[in-house]
Amino acid sequence: MKNSINLLLFTFCLCANHTVHAQWEPQADKIFGAFFSVDAHRAVDAQVDWAGVNLFPWSSAPTLSGWITRTADGGASWKYSQIPGAEGYVIWGISALDANRAWVSMNYRADRSKSRIYRTQDGGATWQLQFEGAGAGFHTHFFDAQNGVMVRGNKFRHTADGGANWSALDSFPAANNGVFLIPTESFDAYRDTIWIPTVDGKISKSTDKGKTWQTISTYMQFSGVSANILDFSDGQHGIAAALFASTPGPDGFFPALPYPRLFNTADGGLTWQEVPSFNLPLPVDDISISSIGAIPGLSGTYLMVAGYFDTGTSSSKNFIYQSNDNGFNWVLIGENPSTFRLQSLEFVSPTAGWGGIGGDYTPGVPHFFRWNGTVTGISETAAYETPLQVMPNPASDHLTLKLPEAAVKPGLTAFILDAQGRLMLRNQTGICTELDIRRLPPGAYTAMVQDERGNIVGVKRWVKGE
């Protein structure tokens, strides 16, 4: 176990004041038994969630088609379908706009060069083959009903008519080693922007719905690793987890790192820095991260599923952590809700999220879980343990933030968050700063000061009066 630990750890006796106030709820999806894996997942809102489920491992049933499953009532009921004529194809990616419209990318088990994209406009009752050939089969994302992109290897195509026609096959600029294509987690999109990591440690980014791309050199590129999990909480703040080396071994596979490495960005992916001394309080060094889920509306807030294999009990031990500062610090908030770890987290708001498990060998276990609690950006405990002063409190027109001299560092920024964790004001600050709060509606707020690396220097609750 590493000695340096960069975590905010609270004992479970503080759970009443913790940032998470609920558990994962298993969903009604008993059609799936053992050996099934949620390999594609896309949540639309608190009511609608789509997923692609394959038999695990894929080679155990080479002629079996995967299932597309969907709920449109918050998980109370699920609809299942298989695409006719897609026997032997693995569901690799899914993109959805609502309860009716979705696209699925599939890859043939026996021949990876055979790949397809299907579309449904009636909730999965019928499916239309839209594309077959190079460039399909791995990741597909639609920004709206017309504009979408498909990615395979270091190649991409885009469409501007809902997938009826696709552009000629093109390559990411300056990306010569392809992209990592781990289902569910290895790319992310926010509004018109999409990010895809390449295996040589770079990030390919498009800000015009996949039409044009730039490839960004990163610190990962010079560290011999590349991002396998990528998630953005908004258009600026994102996290990348590196689980494998960027150079393949003698067997042609990318070797797993001795310990995962975590990187973050605060400028939309243009620059990345490594989270220093990243470590989790687990009894072994050989751990893995299976999923990271950003919380929409809470900038820099994520949940992460990580764990290890317990050789003594021959079982996986997995836990859920939360970060409120763009990945610099992580809080243990509970155990994984299933016998096997969640490998996809999809949050649509601080109060609604979905998770799917992969490769479970236990018959009859749920493969989907729904989060119905509340994730907030700042813990109640942390708000009272930092040296920031706010005056007056309650305040009406102006608010003064004051830090002790010992806490002042270069590059401090003050944030004002509302009761839902949404950013309301942002201002550069120092030892003492006065903020104009006249435009804020009455209510409860949090003042937070971070240094230039995203570390929390001070936090305090306050009230805006009438």
Q: What is the pLDDT of residues 331-371, one digit of tens each?
A: 887 788 877 788 889 998 877 899 988 765 566 677 788 98
User: Which is more confidently placed, 122 or 38?
Assistant: 122
Torsion angle, CA of 242/50/293/73, rounded to 10 degrees? -170
Name residues whose C-beta falls within 8 Å of residue 193's C-beta, 6 or more positions apart in sequence. Answer: 205, 206, 207, 235, 268
Asked if residue 417 has pLDDT above 70, the reply is yes
Q: Sign of the C-alpha dihedral, residues 180, 184, 188, 191?
A: positive
Write out the DSSP string of 216-283.
E--GGGGTTEE-SEEEESSSS-EEEEEEEESS--TTSSPPEEEEEEEEEESSTTSS-EEPTT-----S
Mean pLDDT of 307-313: 79
Kindly give the pairing relationship between strand 229-232 and strand 238-245: antiparallel
Q: Do 464 and 437 form a contact (C-beta atoms < 8 A)?
A: yes
At residue 274, what are phi and psi to the nearest 5 degrees? -85, 140
Kindly give the pairing relationship between strand 288-294 and strand 302-310: antiparallel
Q: Is the peptide bond before 392 cis (omega within 30 degrees of 0)?
A: yes
CATH of 386-464, one of 3.40.109.10, 3.40.50.170, 2.60.40.1220, 3.40.50.2000: 2.60.40.1220
Mean pLDDT of 105-112: 83
CA distances to 20, 59, 225, 250 from 24, rounded to whole Å, are 11, 31, 33, 41
Cα separation, 237 vs 112, in Å, equals 34
Q: Do 44 and 79 form a contact (C-beta atoms < 8 A)?
A: no
Cα separation, 194 vs 176, in Å, equals 19
Asked if residue 178 has pLDDT above 80, the reply is no
**Quick one: pLDDT at residue 454?**
54
At residue 17, what are phi and psi to the nearest 5 degrees? -105, 15
The long-range contacts involving 204-210, CB below 8 angstroms and separated by at least 24 positions, are 204/172, 204/173, 204/175, 204/179, 205/268, 205/269, 206/149, 209/143, 209/144, 209/147, 209/148, 209/149, 209/158, 210/141, 210/143, 210/147, 210/148, 210/149, 210/156, 210/158
CA distances to 40, 51, 80, 128 from 84, rounded to whole Å, are 19, 17, 13, 10
Mean pLDDT of 26-33: 66
SS3 170: strand
- Percent of the chain exceeding pLDDT 90 equals 33
For tokens 């889920």, name the residue: 293
Q: Do 116 and 149 form a contact (C-beta atoms < 8 A)?
A: no
**Quick one: pLDDT at residue 5?**
27
Q: Do 245 and 254 form a contact (C-beta atoms < 8 A)?
A: yes
At residue 222, what are phi and psi to the nearest 5 degrees? -95, 5
Name residues whose C-beta falls within 8 Å of residue 364's C-beta, 6 or more positions apart in sequence. Answer: 30, 33
**52, 10, 16: which is closest to 346 by C-alpha?**
52
**Quick one: pLDDT at residue 386?**
58
Specify the amino acid at residue 125: A
**Per-domain boundaries in the chain:** 12-371, 386-464
pTM of the model: 0.76
Cα separation, 37 vs 223, in Å, equals 32
SS3 180: coil
Cα 417 to the center of its chain, rounded Å:
22
CATH node for 12-371: 2.130.10.10
pLDDT band, residue 420 (cuts 50/70/90): low
SS3 431: coil
pLDDT band, residue 125 (cuts 50/70/90): very high
pLDDT band, residue 30 (cuts 50/70/90): low
The long-range contacts involving 10-17, CB below 8 angstroms and separated by at least 24 positions, are 10/331, 10/332, 10/379, 10/381, 14/381, 17/379, 17/380, 17/381
Q: What is the pLDDT of residues 221-232, one digit of tens each?
A: 777 887 889 999
